[in-house]
Amino acid sequence: MIEKKKDCPFGLWPSEMSASAAGQKLRLEDVQFDSTGQSILWVEGRSGTGVLVRQKKGDVRRDLSSPPLSVRGAVGYGGGEFTTHNDFVFFAEKNGRLYKTNLEKGQAEAITPPYGAFADPQVSPDGKWVLSIFSDGVQDLLAIIDSDGEEWPVQLVKGADFYMSPRWHPGGKAVAWIEWNHPNMPWDGSRLILGRLEGNPPRLVDSHCVAGDTDHAVSQPQFSPDGRYLSYLVSNGEWEDLVLLELQTGQSRILVKGDGFHLAQPAWIQGLRFYGWSFDNRDIYLIKNFGGSASLWQVDIESGETRQIDTSPYTWITQLSVSSSANELVFLASAPGIPTRVVYRDASSINIIACSDAERLSEGYDSTPVPLQWKAGDGSLVYGTYYPPANPGFTAQGLPPAILYIHGGPTSEQPLTYSAERIYFTSRGYAWLDVNYRGSSGYGRSYLQALQGRWGEFDAEDAANAARALVENGLADPGKLIIRGGSAGGFTVLNVLIHYPGVFKAGICLYGVSNLFTLIQDTHKFEAHYNDHLVGTLPDAAEKFHTWSPVFQAEKIQDPLAVFQGSSDQVVPPSQSEEIVSALRRRGIPLLYKVYEGEGHGFRREETLIDYLREVERFLQQYVLFAV
């Protein structure tokens, strides 16, 4: 018998998705085959600690690291945590050092001194050397490290502001890498360099630029297993092409031309992988994405023929890794109703290796995503995804309150993937809208670049228009709209409350930017010149910096605001939140301010996530659901 749903006001529905359940999920951050193709390794973020896990074929999973070590890339936003070579795994630790441990037994030992930070280690074909990114926060370079840690690291390449994706040729006498300089971000313009090595330890004897420049971005260089080709992704206008360079002849050809889809995503972190070579050099497996949805494809190297690989029910795929010994794949996959999983695929089936969540919610809690479009002030389209309230036990009369989610970046996107926070609120009777404002990735290069020089303006306008689109389509209660964002999304939240007062009943700001002047002085090196593109350069753009810095317009904020901040945030320091909080407190604006000790840019600890959800729910009940 189907039980009739009970009538209960929106926002007050009892739900199986408790704050504790939402805060307990693991973070699955990378997955790879080992160098022999016989094991799968991945990184699990467990309440702020990165743990390296291995599952050997036919065996049980086993942790390869344990506290106090935390496997986490420490250059920029992280990434590029580990690699393997035969019986050993090399990984970056949160403290910045590189470690080495046997895949079967033994304790991890540091192979670099306690200075600066290393990321994306890559072992030479003979196993003697590790090529790695190094940064001390001022200077970045490529370093060569003795794989046993008996000698000091030596500089291989320096001179550029940033480096990414170092890779060895199978013959061991050549390397490739990505580099770029301020004020560019890697997706604005970067260079692929191919270099020749000699000596012991290896030294760079010559190098040249293969592709890319200040206006064209290159990513993920990779040598074919037989050493014949260097492959890479390069921007071609709106999209990216997959290019093969035949090393012996110097001839290049486009294997896959991006046309209405992306082959790469903005490189916010080290170690991103969007494609991989088959072990027999015959095929490349790659991910295509557009509008927050991803698909998996196989491409024949000789003919260029492509075929799609069925990966249902997953809608988002990342960190593709291809076995070196068989036609087997492993990747991270998710969908709006499926938390991130480590997924293994062979020629006949797809298998789940690990889950980030217990996945114990009853049927009926999955909110079906609905694409939503609306027009910007200039008539261009803006994109979002709407999730209606969903709970198998409850219904309500009228229209629901709605939370508009503003992603960070701002050069990022919110794809069709799982969010415990979203389900926490949709299962209680809130609607949810992911806003991919102009400046988001996933919709072509022009859409991504639309925010240049207009940050604070276009994103705020698109968020306000998103609220109007919800109301005009009868999808939300116009008197109960909430805007929520973190980092750059928090900056948007503050500017919306300033420039569009009364559109939203309340705002939720996580580690948001409030002062553009101090941000460029205090933030980390990676984003030190990000505002040159997004806002302008000082002193010429001083007026724009002032106009779009929320702290100087705080007297215009009238709506209740909740602010959450990590005490150890090095990207958006606590001073950014404290400035806006002080300004609002002086005026008596309804305010909630929480600082979480030890948290950085993005909350990871279970106790923090639980407290955050509970605090937000109470805040919304007081200032939205029960407000007069």
CA distances from 467 to 409, 477, 482, 522 (A): 21, 10, 9, 33
Q: Quickly tell me which residue has 């030294």 as its tokens.
A: 203
Residue 174: pLDDT band (50, 70, 90) is: very high
Reported residue count of the chain is 628
Answer whether residue 554 is part of any domain. yes
Q: Which of 221, 225, 218 is nearest to 195 (CA)?
A: 221
Answer whether residue 473 is part of any domain. yes
For the residues 419-444, what does the mean pLDDT come to?
A: 97
Order the strands of the 229-235 sheet from edge to edge. Answer: 218-223, 229-235, 240-246, 252-257
Q: How far apart are CA 362 and CA 393, in angstroms?
A: 10
pLDDT tens digit sequence for 334-343: 999 999 999 9
For the residues 366-371, what does the mean pLDDT come to?
A: 95
Q: How far apart are CA 74 and CA 129, in angstroms?
A: 20
On the question of pLDDT at 1 being above 50, the answer is no
Q: What is the mean pLDDT of the chain?
A: 95
Answer whether residue 417 is part of any domain. yes
The residues, ordered by sequence, that sit 6+ positions from 618 with a Cβ below 8 Å of its Cβ are none
Note the pLDDT of residue 620. 98
The residues, ordered by sequence, that sit 6+ positions from 105 with a Cβ below 8 Å of its Cβ are none
Helices 458-472 and 488-499 sit at what angle, rounded to 10 degrees? Answer: 70
For the residues 297-323, what does the mean pLDDT come to?
A: 97
Note the pLDDT of residue 286. 98
Q: Please, are residues 493 and 508 in contact by the beta-carbon 8 Å criterion?
A: yes
Q: How far apart are CA 27 and CA 48, in angstroms?
A: 9
Phi-psi region of 232 (alpha: psi -120 to 50; beta: other; left: phi over 0): beta
Answer whether residue 460 is part of any domain. yes
Q: How far apart are CA 247 and CA 245, in angstroms?
A: 6
Name the CA radius of gyration of the chain, rounded: 24
pTM attached to this predicted model: 0.94
pLDDT tens digit sequence for 506-541: 999 999 999 999 988 888 899 999 999 999 999 999
- DSSP annotation of 216: B
Instruction: Give CA 247 to chain center in angstroms.
Output: 33
Q: Quickly tell me which residue has 């279970």 as its tokens.
A: 606
Q: Which of 84, 112, 198, 214 is nearest to 161 (CA)?
A: 214
Where do the DSSP E strands lie in 212-305?
218-223, 229-235, 240-246, 252-257, 275-277, 283-290, 293-300
Please give the backbone phi and psi of residue 367, each rounded to the nearest 5 degrees, phi first.
-90, 125
Residue 2: pLDDT band (50, 70, 90) is: low
Q: How far apart are CA 137 and CA 381, in angstroms?
A: 39
Domain region containing 405: 361-625
pLDDT tens digit sequence for 86-120: 999 999 999 999 999 999 988 999 999 999 999 99
Answer whether residue 549 is part of any domain. yes
Q: How far apart are CA 109 and CA 227, in angstroms?
A: 32
CATH number at residue 528: 3.40.50.1820
Count of structural domains within the chain = 1
Answer whether residue 446 is part of any domain. yes
pLDDT tens digit sequence for 487-512: 999 999 999 999 999 999 999 999 99
SS3 call for 110: strand
Q: Quickly tell me which residue has 């016989």 as its tokens.
A: 38
Instruction: Give CA 552 to chain center in angstroms.
Output: 30
Beta partners for residue 88, in sequence order: 85, 102
For the residues 284-301, what does the mean pLDDT come to?
A: 97
Q: Which residues of 361-395 are buried (b: 16+ CB within 10 A; e: fewer)?
A: beeebbbebeebebeeeeeeebbbbbbbbbbebbe
DSSP per position, 284-336: EEEEEEETTEEEEEEEETTT--EEEEP-TT-SEEEEEEE-SSSS-EEEEEEET
Q: Which of 217, 223, 171, 173 is nearest to 195 (CA)?
A: 173
pLDDT tens digit sequence for 62-94: 999 999 999 999 899 999 999 999 999 999 999
Residue 624: pLDDT band (50, 70, 90) is: very high
Answer whether residue 286 is part of any domain. no
* DSSP3 helix / strand / coil % (the chain, rounded to 5): 15, 40, 45
